Structure formats: structure tokens, C-alpha cells
Amino acid sequence: MEVVKKKIKKEGYEILKKPKFNVGDKVRLIKYPNEIAIVKEIIWHEKNRRIFYILDVEGNKKRSNSWYYEDENKFEKINE
């Protein structure tokens, strides 16, 4: 995955809230508690003004390609 860094002027953005999870966090899907995932991407959906996550779900490509919105509480962090 290529990371692109851009300079943003201080007056060019507004911090709404910090994401609950970070890239690389290990999480468990609430609906499928035996499935473990890693937070792969954190994305701001401009139109809906919501944070969503792309997860890398072990052994499940379909769920790995899904969008998981932060405010829907579909997964939780695993504290190890």
C-alpha cells in the first residue's frame, strides 16, 4: 500500500473527532466473534461525514471488502 503525504494549511481542515481505532489495531467482529481482523484503512466519507474502516478479516475476503462505519459498533478492539 502506497502512502501519499500532502501538506495541508492549518485553516484548510477541521478536526471533528479522533477515530476510535488506529491502522494496525486487532479487532473482533461483533456478529462473528470468532473472526479476527486488522484495521487496514481509516477513511473519512465526506458526503455522509462519517468515519469508516476497511478491515483485513482473516480468511474472509467478502468481509474484508466491506465498509465498517465507526458509529455502527460492528467490531471491538481486542486488548492483548
Contacts of 13 (CB under 8 A, 6+ apart): none
- Nearest CA-CA partner of 35 in 58, 55, 68: 58
Please report the pLDDT score of residue 17 as a whole number: 73
> Can you give the pLDDT of all 80 residues of the chain as single tens digits?
555 555 555 565 666 678 899 999 999 999 999 989 999 999 888 888 888 999 999 888 888 888 898 889 899 999 86
Instruction: Give the bridge partners for 69, in sequence order.
Output: 52
Residue type, 24: G
Please report the pLDDT score of residue 37 as a whole number: 93
Any idea how long the chain is?
A: 80
What domains, with CATH codes, occur in the chain? 21-77 (2.30.30)
Residue pair 17/32 in contact (Cβ under 8 Å)? The answer is no
Contacts of 52 (CB under 8 A, 6+ apart): 42, 43, 45, 67, 68, 69, 70
Task: Pinpoint the alpha helices (H) of 1-80.
Answer: 61-64
- Taking only the tens place, the pLDDT of each residue in 25-45 is 999 999 999 989 999 999 888
